[in-house]
Structure 1
Amino acid sequence: MADERDPELPGLLLRTERDLFVPLLREAADRDFELRTACPGWTVRDVLAHCGAALTRVVEGRFERGVFSPEANDRDIAERAGWTNARVVDELERGMTGAGPVIAASGGKLDGIALGEWVHAGDVREAFGVPGAYAGPGLDPALDLLAAVTRDRGTVPLTARLTGADGELALGAEDGDRERARYAGDGATLIRLYAGRPLTGTRYELTGARESELNLFG
């Protein structure tokens, strides 16, 4: 796992997820888009509309003030209310294909968007009842991107010892006044912790920090 930001990593994560996630969505029934997700108030369709809108803004370079606020997210979803589910998925697929180069050129400022898109794909898989919703082929690049995002945002310094992985993953910014927190558990649960997703049924050890201190997305 990388110790420094790789500018190509967000695009790799998005393309890896696209190739796995979009076919799942194409095969889903319309009623599946009505399922509730871990995101309060949002259905699967709402999550996908939000994701497609966010990536379209990245590709088109539209970053007006408050663009990713809760109010803006709700407007994006409302603007797509008349779209078919297929059109919502089409926009998402285009965004996952085209956003990588823009994010790569952002110097890290947009890396969190790629990570958030991957987490939202996990939200949808979980709503669908797919095992390992926040795991799969995208997990390792997602963990590397998580490390880069937490360093950039100066979060709590934490060292993660991941089940089945060699070595340790360093997250957060060094803080001479604070000892590094420690995490032991699997990578998917670590993602859940930082994404503020439900932890029911998981097993992990966290010392030196509170769960609430790790939440990247509020």
Structure 2
Amino acid sequence: MTTTTNHAETYDPERPGRLLRTERDVLIPLLRGADDSAYEIRTCCPGWTVRRMLAHCGSALMRVVETRFEEGVYSPESNERDIAERADWSNARIVDELERGMTEAGEIMVKAKGRLDGVSLGEWVHAGDVRAAWDLPGAYGGDGLVDALPLLAEHSRRTSALPLHADVDGWDEPLALGVPDGKRPPARYIGDAPTLIRLYTGRPLTGTRYELAGAKETELPIFG
């Protein structure tokens, strides 16, 4: 993928919904064409099969669509309860819910003015987890990167991550992540976009190539 601007510099409220819809159009056909046995394959998230991950993704998005944000929402305990509630659902029903959430959540995210953008990014990352579990190409990459990378940069600032300048393959300007604190110069990353996503989300790095200076890999993850 090639771009000619640093998309992270201008906030676009439509970006989270657009990322979800872009991913929906690729992911949902893959899910509907998979055998039931593929849903039982383990993902990189401990304890989660593909089915459990998709149940989490659909329930998380429906909480956005229905504006259900009780205390403790999106905690590990809340996520497990949501998954358990869908234990007797068919795989097709789980995919139906996910498709609806990916279609409808964007409008609510616009009104949230950035507060729910991390949900969109997390859903996109989980879609990459499914591809990785199924050994399919495109994990943490593809057409969604044009929106996912700016969302990653914005989320890193909201979470006060350490400052880092990323020279990303195919991007003409460094991507600025995190918040300068005056205590250390920005770290530097050189490599491709999917590997940067893996670093910031704590995904396996086996088989990747990149350069990282001024920070340790363990300092970068901002969510799992």
The partner residue of 1:104 within 105, 110, 121 is: 110
Gaps of 5+ in 1: none
* Equivalent position of 1:173 in the other structure: 179
Q: Deviations over 1:52-104 (max 9, x none)?
A: 00000011101001111101111111110000000000000000001001112
- RMSD over aligned CA atoms reads 0.9
Matched, 1:34 2:11: no
Answer with 162-171 or 31-40: which moved more: 162-171
AA at the equivalent of 2:86: R
1:51 is aligned, of 35, 52, 57, to 57
Deviating above 4 A after TM superposition, structure 1's stretches of 4 or more consecutive aligned residues are none
Alignment of 1:8-23 (within 5 A): 8-23=14-29
Letter in 2 for 1:38: C
Query: Could you tell me which residue of structure 1 aligns to residue 3 of structure 2?
Result: none
* Residue type of the alignment partner of 2:118: G
Q: Does 1:196 align with 2:202?
A: yes
- Corresponding residue SS for 1:183: strand
Q: Shift in Å at residue 165 of structure 1?
A: 2.1
Question: Are 1:119 and 2:132 counterparts?
Answer: no
**Mapped pair 1:182 → 2:175:** no
The answer for the alignment partner of 2:156 in structure 1 is 150
Indicate yes or no: 2:79 matched with 1:73. yes
- Counterpart amino acid of residue 159 in structure 1: H
Q: CA deviation at 1:4?
A: 3.1
Match of 1:163 among 143, 162, 169: 169
SS at the partner of 1:154?
coil
| Aligned-partner SS, 1:88 | helix
Q: Which runs of 5+ in 2 are unaligned?
A: 1-5
Partner of 2:220: 214
Q: For residue 134 of structure 1, report the CA deviation from its aligned partner.
A: 1.2
- Match status 1:88 vs 2:88: no
What is the deviation of 1:36? 0.4
Q: Shift in Å at residue 175 of structure 1? A: 1.8
Once residues 67 and 98 of structure 1 are traced to their aligned partners in structure 2, the CA distance between those partners, rounded to angstroms, is: 19
CA distance in 1, matches of 2:181, 2:12: 23
Partner Cα distance (2:197, 2:55) in 1: 22
Map Cα deviations across residues 134-172 of structure 1 (whole Å, 9 max, x no partner): 111112211111011111211111100012321111111
Residue 212 (structure 1) shift: 1.5
Measure, in 1, the Cα distance between the counterparts of 2:146 and 2:155: 14
Amino acid at match of 1:74: E
Whole-angstrom CA distance in 2 between matches of 1:170 and 1:12: 22
- The one-letter amino acid of 2:23's match is E
Residue 141 of structure 1 aligns with which residue? Answer: 147
Q: Would the aligned equivalents of 1:108 and 1:152 in 2 still touch at CA under 8 Å?
A: no
